[in-house]
Amino acid sequence: MDKNRVTKQIARRVSSAIADRGFDVQSVAQAADITTPDLTDRLQGRVEFEVDVLVRVGGFMRFPVTRFMEVAA
């Protein structure tokens, strides 16, 4: 699978989870210990999500990190 495509699919999954749970990007970024612009770059698919960032984002939202990465399998 194309790396860019996987990056964008993961970004869409994370973005949907944030919206579905009613969180704002600033709160999620702060909880994940990254800047809001860094999270925004990831959510827009410009930068890959590192696994540790996915774990922190998923943990904050109580969302299984494996659900973000299902598309990458």
Q: Considering the chain, what percentage of its residues have pLDDT values greater than 70?
A: 95
Of 1.10.260.40, 1.10.760.10, 1.10.10.10, 3.40.630.40, the CATH number of 3-72 is 1.10.260.40
Query: What are the residue ranges spanned by the domains of the chain?
Result: 3-72
Please state, in angstroms and rounded to a whole number, the distance separating the CA atoms of residues 5 and 7.
5
Structure tokens at 54: 């996915």
Does the pLDDT at position 34 exceed 70? yes
Residues 35-65 have pLDDT tens digits of 999 999 999 999 999 999 999 999 999 999 9
Does the pLDDT at position 72 exceed 60? no
Q: What's the pTM?
A: 0.90
Does the pLDDT at position 22 exceed 90? yes
Q: Which residues contact 15 (CB under 8 A, 6 or more apart)?
A: 43
